[in-house]
C-alpha cells in the first residue's frame, strides 16, 4: 500500500512521486492534473454524466477482458472492478472526481481519474493491492477511445432519459390546452400585424407540433451516437486490445444501459471526428429555437394586463418589481428564452471544437462534453419548470380575444369573394382612416348593402 504521510499519502506514476490526500482514492496522475489546471475549480468540473458513463464503460471493459483474457482479468479482479465501478455509477464516489473541464483535450486525466479511483476503491474492497489503474482497469483501452465512448454514452442517456421525456410532457400539456381552446377564435398575427382569424387551439397546435418534430429529430440523431469508439485504443488500430474486444465491450455497455450501443465500424473516424455530437446538438438547438418562439408568443399574448394584448393569462409566480407594486412579469418565459440563448452559444462552441484537433484525434472533447451535457440538462430543467409553472396554467381571455378579433381590419379578407381585393383594400383603409367599422365603411362606399354584409361577414367561420 502507499506510504502514509500525515493527511497525505505518497503515490507514484511514471514521472515520480506525488502527495495525494489520504482520504481520496485517486492517484498520482489525477493529483498532477488537479495541481496543473486550477481553472474553474469547484465550478466547471467534469460533468457528472461523464463520470457516470466512465463507470459503465470500465465495468463493461472489465467484463469483456475477463471473457477474452481471463488469465489477466481474473474473476477476483473482475469482482472488485465491477463493485467499484458500480459505486462510480451510483455517484457514491463523486467526491473522488475533482478534475476540471479545462485539462488535456483528449480527457486523458479524467480517464486516469476513473482508473485510479476504481483501482483504489477495488483494492480497499479486496483488502490488498490487487488492481493497477493502467494494467487492470485500463486494460485494452486508451484515453483516446474511452473518452469519446463516455461522451456518446452520456449524450444518449441525457437525450433519451432526460430531455425527450421533458419535451413529451410539455407537448402533452399543450395537447390538452389545444383541445380546451378549439372554440376560442382570435385574431391571427403575421409580421406583428393583424391577420385573418385563427382559433387559439390552432395556435397552440403549432407549438405542440414544433415540439413533436423536435423530438423526432432528436431521435433521428440518436442512431449515430450508438456507435462507440472503444476498441480503437490510441489511434484507431486497436493496438493492445484482443480480437473481439470492441464488439464484446459494446455489447456489455448495451446490456448495462439497456440501449442499442454497438462498436463503431471505423475506429479512425470514431477517434478523430465528433460529427455525431454536432448533428445531435443541432437537433437540441432546433428545439431551443422553437422554445424561444413559443415562450415569446406566450409573453406577447399575456402582455398587459391593460396596455398589452392581454389575450391570455399565465400563472403569477412572484412579484415582478421592487418599485412598482402589483407588477407581475412572465418570468418563466424569460428563463426559457435565456436557456435557449445559452444552448445556441453552446452549439457554436461545439461546432468550433469539433472542427479542431489534428490527424488521429480530436483534442477538444472535454469542452464538447461540458457544453453538450449542459444544453441537455438546462433545456430539460427549463422545460419542466415552464410546463409546471406556466404552460399548465395558461387560460384564454375569450372576451379580449373577441374584442380584438372584431376590431381587426384584416377581417375584410372575408369580403374578397364578394367585392374583390381592391375594393376590400379600400374598405379597410377607409375604416382605419375614419375610425369606423368595416361594415360602416363597406356600406358607406356602396360596395354592399347592410343586409348583404351581415349575410356574408362571419369572422368565426374564417378559421
Residues with catalytic function: 191, 321
Burial grade of 376 (CB within 10 A; 0-12, 13-18, 19 or more): buried
Place of cell 445531435: 280
d(CA 128, CA 148): 32
φ and ψ of 310, to 5 deg: 60, 30
Amino acid at each position: 500500500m502507499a506510504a502514509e504521510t500525515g493527511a497525505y499519502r505518497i503515490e507514484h506514476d511514471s514521472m515520480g512521486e506525488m502527495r495525494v490526500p489520504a482520504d481520496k482514492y485517486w492517484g498520482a496522475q489525477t493529483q498532477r492534473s488537479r495541481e496543473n489546471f486550477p481553472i474553474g475549480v469547484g465550478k466547471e468540473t467534469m460533468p457528472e454524466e461523464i463520470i457516470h458513463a466512465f463507470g459503465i464503460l470500465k465495468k463493461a471493459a472489465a467484463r469483456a477482458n475477463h471473457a477474452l483474457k481471463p488469465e489477466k482479468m481474473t474473476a477476483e479482479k473482475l469482482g472488485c472492478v465491477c463493485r467499484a465501478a458500480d459505486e462510480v455509477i451510483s455517484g457514491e464516489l463523486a467526491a473522488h472526481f475533482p478534475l476540471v473541464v479545462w485539462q488535456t483535450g483528449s480527457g486523458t486525466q479524467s480517464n486516469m481519474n476513473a482508473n485510479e479511483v476504481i483501482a483504489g476503491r477495488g483494492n480497499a474492497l479486496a483488502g490488498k493491492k490487487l488492481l493497477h489503474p493502467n494494467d487492470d482497469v485500463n486494460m485494452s483501452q486508451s484515453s483516446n477511445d474511452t473518452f469519446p465512448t463516455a461522451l456518446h454514452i452520456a449524450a444518449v442517456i441525457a437525450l433519451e432519459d432526460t430531455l425527450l421525456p421533458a419535451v413529451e410532457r410539455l407537448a402533452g400539456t399543450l395537447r390538452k390546452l389545444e383541445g380546451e381552446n378549439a372554440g376560442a377564435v382570435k385574431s391571427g398575427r403575421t409580421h406583428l400585424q393583424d391577420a385573418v382569424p385563427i382559433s387559439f387551439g390552432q395556435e397552440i397546435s403549432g407549438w405542440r407540433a414544433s415540439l413533436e418534430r423536435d423530438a423526432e429529430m432528436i431521435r433521428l440523431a440518436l442512431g449515430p451516437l450508438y456507435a462507440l469508439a472503444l476498441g480503437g485504443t490510441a489511434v484507431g488500430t486497436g493496438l493492445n486490445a484482443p480480437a473481439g474486444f470492441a464488439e464484446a465491450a459494446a455489447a456489455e455497455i448495451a446490456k448495462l444501459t439497456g440501449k442499442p450501443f454497438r462498436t463503431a465500424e471505423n475506429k479512425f473516424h470514431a477517434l478523430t471526428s465528433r460529427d455525431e455530437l454536432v448533428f445531435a446538438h443541432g437537433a437540441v438547438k432546433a428545439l431551443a429555437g422553437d422554445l424561444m418562439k413559443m415562450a415569446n408568443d406566450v409573453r406577447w399574448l399575456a402582455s398587459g394586463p391593460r396596455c398589452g394584448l392581454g389575450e391570455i393569462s399565465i400563472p403569477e409566480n412572484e412579484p415582478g418589481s421592487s418599485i412598482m407594486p402589483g407588477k407581475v412579469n412572465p418570468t418563466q418565459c424569460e428563463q426559457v428564452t435565456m436557456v435557449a440563448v445559452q444552448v445556441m452559444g453552446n452549439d457554436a462552441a461545439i461546432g468550433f471544437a469539433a472542427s479542431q484537433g489534428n490527424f488521429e484525434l480530436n483534442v477538444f472533447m472535454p469542452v464538447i462534453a461540458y457544453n453538450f451535457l449542459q444544453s441537455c440538462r438546462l433545456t430539460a430543467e427549463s422545460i419542466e419548470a415552464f410546463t409546471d409553472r406556466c404552460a399548465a396554467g395558461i387560460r384564454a381571455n375569450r372576451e379580449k380575444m373577441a374584442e380584438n378579433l372584431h376590431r381587426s381590419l384584416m377581417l375584410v379578407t372575408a369580403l374578397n369573394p364578394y367585392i374583390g381585393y381592391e375594393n376590400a383594400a379600400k374598405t379597410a383603409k377607409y375604416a382605419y382612416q375614419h375610425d369606423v367599422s368595416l361594415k360602416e365603411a363597406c356600406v358607406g362606399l356602396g360596395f354592399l348593402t347592410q343586409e348583404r354584409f351581415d349575410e356574408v361577414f362571419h369572422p368565426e367561420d374564417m378559421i
